[in-house]
A = this chain, B = another copy of it.
Amino acid sequence: MSKIKELREHFSSLTRLKYISNLLNWDLQVYMPDGSNEGRSELISLVGEITHKRLISKKTEDLISNAEKIDNLDLIDSAILREAKRQYEKAVKIPTELVVEIAKTATLGHKAWEKAREKSEFSIFLPYLEKMIELQKEYADLIDIGECRYDTLLDDFEPGATSKWVSSTFNELAPKLQKIVKKLDSSNDKPTQAVLKKYYDPEKQWEFSNEIIEKLGFDFDIGRQDKSVHPFTTSIASEDVRITTRIMENFLPGCLFGTIHECGHALYQMGLMEEIHSTNLADGCSLGFHESQSRLYENFLGRSKDFWNYWYPKLQNFFPENLKGYPMDEFYRSINTVERSLIRVEADEITYSLHIILRFEIERMIFEDKINIKELPQLWNEKMETLLSIEPPNDAEGILQDVHWSGGAFGYFPTYTLGNLYGAQIYNDAINSNPNLLDEFSQGNFSNLLSYLRKNVHQYGAIYQPRDLIKKITGKGLDPEYFTTYLKNKFYPIYKI
C-alpha cells in the first residue's frame, strides 16, 4: 500500500470509530431505554479511549512523517494529510489525565447546570463552571494555536478563525443588526405569532415536515428522521445520515423549521463526493459552514415568500381548522416575527446574532482573564441591556439558559452567527448564478438550489478550509454586508417600512 493510502486508511478507521460513537449517541437520544444510561456511558468512553490511543500512537506519527516526504500530493491527499496533522498535533499535546478530567467535569457540570437552571441559582453551577474554565485554559495553553487562548478554542470548531477576525466581523455586524431591530420597532403594523400557537396535530406536523424535506432532496434511502428532546443531525456513514425533530402541539414552527434546519445539515453530509467518504474529510469544513447550510434552508429558503407560495396551500390542506381562509401573506409575516427576547434558541433571524455576540464577548473576556467568573450573571445582564435592551428577570432565563459551557464548549457559539453570514453570502451567489431560482421555489422545484450547493459546497466536505472555500465560491472573503442587506430587503416590507 502506498504511504498516503496507509495514512488515509488509518484515519478512515478513526472516522469509522466516530461513526460508531455517533450511533451510540443517536440511540441514546432516540431509542435507548431510560434505565440504560450507565452501561451506555461505558460504551461511549471505551470508543473514545480506543480512538484517542489510535490517534496518538507511534503509528500515526510515522504515517504522517512518511506522507510528508511525498511530493506532488493531489488536492484530496494534501487535505487528508493536513487534517491528519491537525488532529494528531492537537491530540498529542493533551495528556490523557486532562482529557479524563474534562470529561468528568463535564458530566458533573452538566448535572449541576441542570439543577442550577431549574432553581435559577447560578451559585450551584459556579464551582463547576470555574473548574471547567480552568481546564479549558490549561487545554488552550497546551495546544497554543494563534495569538491568544481563545484562538485555540475557536480553531476546534472553526479551523483558522481568530479572535481578532471574529471580533472585527461581529463589531461591524452588531450595530447594523441593532439598527434594523430599532427600525422594525417603529412599525405601526407588526406581525404576530398568534396563528402559529393554535393546536396543530403532532402526527400531521410530522407528516408535513417529512413531505417538505423529501422535496428538498433529503434521501430517505440513506437517511431517516426520528424524534428526540433536542433536535440534531448525525452521520453513521456518508450513506447513513439521520436527523431528529421535536414536535410541539401548540407551536407550529418548532417541528417545521427545526426539521428544515436539520435537513440543511443533512444535505451537506449526504452530498460529500464519494472519494472522501469515510476519510477524515467526510464532514463539513467547519461548524460555521455547516450552520450556513442549515440556516440557508431554515431561514433564507424556509421562511421566504417564494417557498410558501408553493407550500402554503398544502399546509392549509393539512390544517384547514387553523388556516383555511387565513391569508398567505399574513402567514408569511407571522413566521417572520421579530422580537427582542430572552432566550437564544427562541430568537428570530435578526436578534439571534445579538444573543451570539453577547456570548462571544463574554467568552473572550473569560479567556483573557478580564472577568471574575462570579460576576458573569451581572455581566450577562448588562450586555443583554446593551445589545437587546432587555433585562433577564432571573439567571435561568439569563446566563443559565445554554448547555454549552457545562460541557466545555467555549468558542462554539460564534459559529452560529458565522453560519448566518456564510449562508447569506452563499445564498446571494446561488441566486445570482441561477436567476430562475426563486421562481422555481414557487413551483416547488428545489433541485437547482441543491445542485448549486452540492457543486459549490457539499461535495468538498473538509477538503478546503472555510476562509478558502468562501473565496472559491463567492470570489471574496466573508462579508457581513450580505446578511444585513438580506435582512433589510426582507424585513422592512414585512414590517411595512
A residues within 8 Å of B by Cβ?
13, 16-17, 19-20, 23-24, 27, 31-36, 38-40, 42-43, 46-47, 50, 219-224, 226, 236-240, 277-278
Question: In the bound complex, do residue A39 and residue B237 qualify as a contact, i.e. CB atoms below 8 Å apart?
Answer: yes
A20-B20, A46-B17 known; A40+B221 contact, CB < 8 A: no
Rounded to whole angstroms, the CA-CA distance of A17 and B39 in the bound complex is 12
Question: In the bound complex, do residue B36 and residue A236 qualify as a contact, i.e. CB atoms below 8 Å apart?
Answer: yes
Question: In the bound complex, do residue A16 and residue B224 qualify as a contact, i.e. CB atoms below 8 Å apart?
Answer: no
Rounded to whole angstroms, the CA-CA distance of A390 and B240 in the bound complex is 46
Chain B residues with CB below 8 A from A238, complex form: 39
Rounded to whole angstroms, the CA-CA distance of A238 and B40 in the bound complex is 10
Question: In the bound complex, do residue A222 and residue B33 qualify as a contact, i.e. CB atoms below 8 Å apart?
Answer: yes
Rounded to whole angstroms, the CA-CA distance of A32 and B31 in the bound complex is 13
Q: Which 7 A-B pairs have the closest CB atoms?
A: A39-B237, A36-B240, A35-B221, A35-B222, A36-B239, A16-B46, A39-B239
25 A-B pairs (CB sep. < 8 Å): A16-B46, A19-B39, A20-B46, A20-B47, A23-B24, A27-B27, A31-B224, A31-B226, A32-B240, A33-B221, A33-B222, A33-B223, A34-B221, A35-B219, A35-B221, A35-B240, A36-B237, A36-B239, A36-B240, A39-B278, A40-B236, A40-B240, A42-B237, A43-B237, A50-B50
Rounded to whole angstroms, the CA-CA distance of A16 and B24 in the bound complex is 12
Chain B residues with CB below 8 A from A236, complex form: 27, 32, 36, 39-40, 43
Rounded to whole angstroms, the CA-CA distance of A221 and B220 in the bound complex is 30
Nearest CB of B to A342, in Å = 36
Rounded to whole angstroms, the CA-CA distance of A239 and B31 in the bound complex is 14
Contact of A16 among B32, B43, B220, B277 (CB under 8 A): B43
Question: In the bound complex, do residue B237 and residue A46 qualify as a contact, i.e. CB atoms below 8 Å apart?
Answer: no
Chain B residues with CB below 8 A from A50, complex form: 50
Chain B residues with CB below 8 A from A219, complex form: 35
Known: A31-B224, A34-B221. 18 other contacts (CB 8 A): A19-B39, A20-B20, A20-B46, A23-B23, A23-B24, A31-B226, A32-B240, A33-B221, A33-B239, A35-B222, A35-B240, A36-B237, A38-B239, A39-B236, A39-B240, A39-B277, A40-B236, A40-B240
Nearest CB of B to A164, in Å = 40
Nearest CB of B to A9, in Å = 11
Question: In the bound complex, do residue B33 and residue A16 qualify as a contact, i.e. CB atoms below 8 Å apart?
Answer: no
Question: In the bound complex, do residue B35 and residue A19 qualify as a contact, i.e. CB atoms below 8 Å apart?
Answer: no
Q: Which of A19, A36, A42, A220 has the most CB of B within 10 A?
A: A36
Question: In the bound complex, do residue B35 and residue A278 qualify as a contact, i.e. CB atoms below 8 Å apart?
Answer: no
Rounded to whole angstroms, the CA-CA distance of A50 and B47 in the bound complex is 11
Chain B residues with CB below 8 A from A31, complex form: 31, 224, 226
Rounded to whole angstroms, the CA-CA distance of A42 and B277 in the bound complex is 12
Question: In the bound complex, do residue A33 and residue B278 qualify as a contact, i.e. CB atoms below 8 Å apart?
Answer: no
Contact of A33 among B19, B27, B240 (CB under 8 A): B240
Question: In the bound complex, do residue A16 and residue B35 qualify as a contact, i.e. CB atoms below 8 Å apart?
Answer: no
Rounded to whole angstroms, the CA-CA distance of A50 and B13 in the bound complex is 11
Nearest CB of B to A233, in Å = 14
Chain B residues with CB below 8 A from A222, complex form: 33, 35-36
